Amino acid sequence: MASDELSFASIGELAAAYRRRDVSPVEATRAALARIERMDGRLNAYILVTADLALQRARAAETRFVRRESAHLLCGIPFSLKDIFDVEGLPMTCASGVLKDRYVSTTTATVAQRLLDTGAVLLGKNNMLEFAYGETHPEFGPTRNPWNLDRSTAGSSTGSAASVSAGQAYFSIGTDTGGSIRLPASYCGVVGLKPTYGLVSRRGVAALSWTADHVGPLTRTAADAGIVLGTIAGHDPGDPTSVARSPDDYAQIMLRPVRGLRVGVVHREFDGVHPDVQRAALEAVETLKSLRMEVRDVEVPPLEQAVVALLTVLAVEAASYHRQWLAQHPEGYSQAVRDRLKMGALIPAVDYLQAMRYRRVFGDRLIRVFESVDVLVLPASPGPAHPFSEETPGRDFTPYVRRTGPFNLTGLPALSVPCGFSTDALPIGLEIVGRPFADGMVLQVAHAYQQVTEWHQRRPAIAA
C-alpha cells in the first residue's frame, strides 16, 4: 500500500490488509506517528502523543496477525481520543490550565477501555476547546483546519476532527453537548456521530453538562463510524444514565436498502445559512431522492427555543460540575470560561427547571414528527469553517448550535456527513437525525449517500 493510500484507508480496508499480511499494525502506526510529527506543528491537533505505548500495542497486535489468532476488526487500528477521557497512567488536561500538570488519570474511561480491549492502538490525546465549553485556552491554542490553516475547526472536539481529516488517525472519539462532534466533523470534512443519549457510556469522561453530554466517533466514513459505535456502545453500570440495552448490529443495518425510507427535509433550516451550504445540502437531498428514498418537507418545533433551553441547562450543570475547581483554581480557567461558569452559577433554580420542563415539551413534539418520517435532514452548520478572527471570547453560541443543539436536548441520534464544498474549497456537512436508538438507520442513510458521492474521498492539501 502506498503511504497516502495507507493513511487514508478505511478501517475495513486496513483490517483486511492486516489479515492478508500486506500491511502490519506497526507500519500503519509508524505512518500515523510520522504524519503527526510532520503536520502537528501546524495543525495542533494533539495535546499528548503516546508514541512508545502505541508502538508497543502495535507490536502486540502484529503478533496476533502473525500467529493468525482471531482478532477484533479494530485490532491494530490507530486511533486518538479527545483529551477529556481518562486513560489510566496518562495525564488528562481537558485543554485547561486547571488540570494541566496536576492530573494523571487513575482509571480508564469505559469507552477507552472497550477500544483498548480490542487491541486498537491509542496514538494520543487530542486538543479541544477548554473543558469543551466553547473557548480556546491560550496555553493550548487552537487546532487549525486541515483544509485552510486560517480557519476554525469549530469545537469542541477540534483535534479529533482535524486528526481524522488529515490522516493522522483512522478514527477518534469525541464528545458532543451542543454539536461538539458534528460541527468539527462538518468543518473538517469527516463523519461525526452523536449517538442516542444513554447508548454510549460517559463514565471516565469529564462532564460539561450531564444531561446533554454524548460520546461518539469521528471517522472518514459512515461504515467506519458503525464499526466504532458497535464497539463502544452498550450498557455500563458505571454510568447512571446508560441504558440496559445491547447495541444493534450496525454493520448489518447499514447494508439494508434505503429505498422507501422516508426523509423529512427541515426546509426552514435551509434558509438563513451560507449560500454554499444551502446549495450543497439541497443537492444532497436530491441525491437521497435518486436513491429512491421518499423525500418530504416537514415542520419541526422551533429549534431556537430548544437552543435557549439547552444553553440554560448546560450553563447551570457546567457551573455545578466546576464549582469546586473554580473555587480552588480560578486562575486555571481562561477569562471567558470563568465568566461562563460564574454566570451559570447565577441562574435561578426555577429557570433551570423551566428549561428542563420545556425540554419535555420540545422532545414530545419532535418525537411526533417521526410518525411520518424515518429520518430528518438539515444543514449541520450555518456556514463553512469560519476564520479565527470571528472567534471572540464569550461570543454567543446560539447561531452555531442552532441545528445541532436541539438533538442534545432530546438525545436523538444525529450525524454529520460530508456533502460538498464551498466555493473556497471548505467542506460542508449534512446532518441526519433519527428516532431514539435508530442510530443504525442514521448510519444506513449516511452510508448509502457515501456510496454514490465522493466528498469523503477528497483530502486536504496539507495531508498530501
Partner 1 sequence: MTDTVRGSDLIGAARLVGLDLTEREAESYAQTLTGLLKAARALPVPQEVEPAATVAPPEVHRGQR
156 is catalytic: yes
Q: Interface with partner 1 includes 295 (CB under 8 A)?
A: no
Give long-range contacts, CB 8 A cutoff, 24+ apart: 450-457.
450/221, 450/222, 450/223, 450/417, 452/287, 452/290, 452/291, 453/284, 453/287, 453/419, 455/189, 455/418, 455/419, 455/420, 455/421, 455/427, 456/189, 456/190, 456/191, 456/220, 456/221, 456/417, 456/418
Options 24, 80, 156, 160, the catalytic residue: 156
Looking only at residues 258 through 277 of this chain, which bind partner 1 when binding is defined by CB under 8 A?
261-262
Options 180, 186, 242, 381, the catalytic residue: 180
Strand pairing partners for 192? 218, 416
342 is catalytic: no
Looking only at residues 200 through 259 of this chain, which bind partner 1 when binding is defined by CB under 8 A?
210-211, 241, 243
Contact indicator for 157, 126 with CB cutoff of 8 Å:
yes
# residues contacting partner 1 (CB under 8 A): 51
Sheet holding 294-297, edge to edge: 46-49, 121-126, 78-82, 171-176, 214-219, 191-194, 414-421, 427-434, 375-379, 262-265, 294-297
Options 7, 24, 80, 82, the catalytic residue: 82
d(CA 317, CA 306): 16
d(CA 403, CA 183): 10
Q: Interface with partner 1 includes 296 (CB under 8 A)?
A: no
d(CA 265, CA 295): 7
Task: Name the nearest CA neighbour of 405 among 310, 323, 313, 319.
Answer: 310
Nearer to partner 1 among residue 354 and residue 423 (C-beta): 354
Nearer to partner 1 among residue 296 and residue 323 (C-beta): 323
180 is catalytic: yes
Q: Interface with partner 1 includes 292 (CB under 8 A)?
A: no
Which residue of 327, 331, 389, 464 would you call a contact of partner 1, by CB under 8 A?
A: 327
In this structure, what C-alpha cell is assigned to residue 379?
444543514
Nearer to partner 1 among residue 261 and residue 430 (C-beta): 261
Looking only at residues 377 through 406 of this chain, which bind partner 1 when binding is defined by CB under 8 A?
394
Contact indicator for 167, 406 with CB cutoff of 8 Å:
no
Nearer to partner 1 among residue 62 and residue 374 (C-beta): 374
Q: Interface with partner 1 includes 42 (CB under 8 A)?
A: no
CB of 180 to partner 1, least distance (A): 19
Q: Which stretch binds partner 1 (CB under 8 A): 11-19, 124-132, 174-182, 355-363?
A: 355-363
Q: Interface with partner 1 includes 63 (CB under 8 A)?
A: no
Q: Which residues bind partner 1 (CB under 8 A)?
A: 196-199, 210-211, 241, 243, 261-262, 305, 308-309, 311-312, 315, 323, 326-327, 339, 342-343, 345-348, 350-351, 353-361, 363, 367-368, 370-372, 374, 394, 410-412, 435-437
Residues carrying an active site annotation: 82, 156, 180
